[in-house]
Amino acid sequence: MRGIDLSGRIRFLDTTLRDGEQTPGVSLGMDDKLTIAQGLDSLGVDVIEAGSAMTSEGERLAIKAIADSGLKAEICSYVRALTADIDTALACDVDSVHLVVPASDLHIKTKLKADRESVVRMAADVTEYAKDHG
């Protein structure tokens, strides 16, 4: 990578506050999450995925506290391809959403009980919904 100028082309998205809690035995309180978010911000992380607003009321309160804390980083919430997830994330004052759409045939068939075409259509519709809501 020597000699290649990547300045202005790379943004770092950190998922610690959502993904880290998927580790067995790890549960972060609001103060812990805010402290971690502040540390990530001070390191220059561009986007902090503060959590999934659909998880719980406590998660929503933590995401909102992070979003309202004046960090330089863009604060986002992990969302499924559902308008309700987008609305819940927006109520937490996030700057953006991290839209996740299932891609495996097994997930599409067994969990969503759908076909690939309808999932692509759903993803496009929800993406437009998110864009229309800022």
Given a cut of 80, is residue 6 above it in pLDDT?
A: no
Q: What secondary structure does DSSP assign to 1-54, as a single string?
A: -TT---TTT---EE-HHHHGGGSTT----HHHHHHHHHHHHHHT-SEEEEE-TT
- Condensed to tens digits (0 to 9), the pLDDT of residues 98-110 reads 999 989 999 999 9
**Rounded Cα distance, 126 and 102, in Å:** 13
Given a cut of 80, is residue 118 above it in pLDDT?
A: yes
Among the ranges given (19-23, 46-50, 62-66, 83-87), the one the predictor scored with the smallest mean pLDDT: 19-23
- Starting at the edge strand found earlier in the chain, the sheet holding 96-100 runs 13-14, 47-51, 74-80, 96-100
**In which band, very low, low, confident or very high, does the pLDDT at 25 lie, cut at 50, 70 and 90?**
confident
**In which band, very low, low, confident or very high, does the pLDDT at 8 lie, cut at 50, 70 and 90?**
low
- Condensed to tens digits (0 to 9), the pLDDT of residues 34-67 reads 999 999 999 999 999 999 999 999 999 999 999 9
